[in-house]
Amino acid sequence: MSPIEIPASAVDTAVAPEWGVRRTMTDFEATMWRMEADPRLRSPVAAVEVLDRTPDWDRFLAAHEWATRILPRARMRVVDTPLHLGNPVWAVDPDFDLSFHVRRQRLPPPATFGQALRVCQTEVSEPFDPARPPWRALLIEGPEGGRPST
């Protein structure tokens, strides 16, 4: 199966996004990045989306590939300055590998939403690899019904 093509008309290329234009981190970004090194100060963020069905894996990957093309920062890693004398800079990762960043995990039946959240908790507790762009996406398959119980 070939990758899904996203038509150029799906993106308004006449308007350049402001996010991701600056190469040098702001003072706030640099502080947050450097705090990542200390597990006590790390402030992970996770977004959980509950889908009505498992997406087609090839389309899921194609959507992430497309997103990394329109948001160049998603393909950039952090490079510290010598002796940490200035703020880190964003640099294109020449070895960017989407399969490192986008993964999937199937929970054995009968999986629950709580088990899926525990997987998320484990995922966000792991620090980012400083040699790669600082983001990950994980598709968790298997929770019965896909929705949290009320």
pTM for this structure? Answer: 0.78
Q: Which domain holds residue 56?
A: 17-141
For the stretch 102-115, pLDDT in tens is 999 999 988 899 99
* The predicted structure's pLDDT at residue 58: 96
Number of domains in the chain: 1
pLDDT at 25: 92
Asked if residue 66 belongs to a domain, the reply is yes
DSSP string for 44-76: --------SSPPPHHHHHHHHHHHHHHSGGGGE
The answer to whether position 67 is within a domain reads yes
Q: Per the domain annotation, does 6 fall within a domain?
A: no
Average pLDDT, the chain: 84
Instruction: Give a yes or no: residue 148 inside a domain.
Output: no
Quick check: is 149 in a domain?
Answer: no
Per DSSP, what are the bridge partners of residue 77? 91
Is 3 inside a domain boundary? no
Spans in the chain with pLDDT lower than 70: 1-21, 144-150
Q: Is residue 12 part of a domain?
A: no
Please indicate, yes or no, if residue 117 is contained in any of the structural domains.
yes
